[in-house]
Amino acid sequence: MQAAFDQVATRLKTFAPDLHGALEAYVKDPKDPAEPAARLDAFFANPPEGYYRRNGSRRSSSACAPRTSKGVVIFSSGGITSAKLWKAVEEFFGR
């Protein structure tokens, strides 16, 4: 658990300090997982703006950027919506 937590700890501390604290405490003394699980569910249901890095969205957009066509079709808009990355997509395509 510690290794997995370490991978996200810095970003959580910046964007969701309460969740960071709760998970840090749970990793040190794991007891009932219901409370941290509920916090994680709430976090993923409404992640704070900026938590997901915009560079990943830009790399994906670059891979499918129109070369000769006049647009693209986005098949997984739910992922973009839940990660709050529409602004990054709009900026990439110049809106």
Taking only the tens place, the pLDDT of each residue in 55-82 is 654 555 555 555 566 666 777 778 788 7
Encode pLDDT of 4-50 as tens digits: 999 999 999 999 999 999 999 999 999 999 999 999 999 988 888 88
Q: How far is Cα 24 from Cα 18, in angstroms, rounded to an integer?
A: 10
pLDDT for the residue numbered 55? 63
Q: Model-level pTM?
A: 0.61
Contact criterion met (CB below 8 Å) for 54 and 88: yes
pLDDT for the residue numbered 71? 66
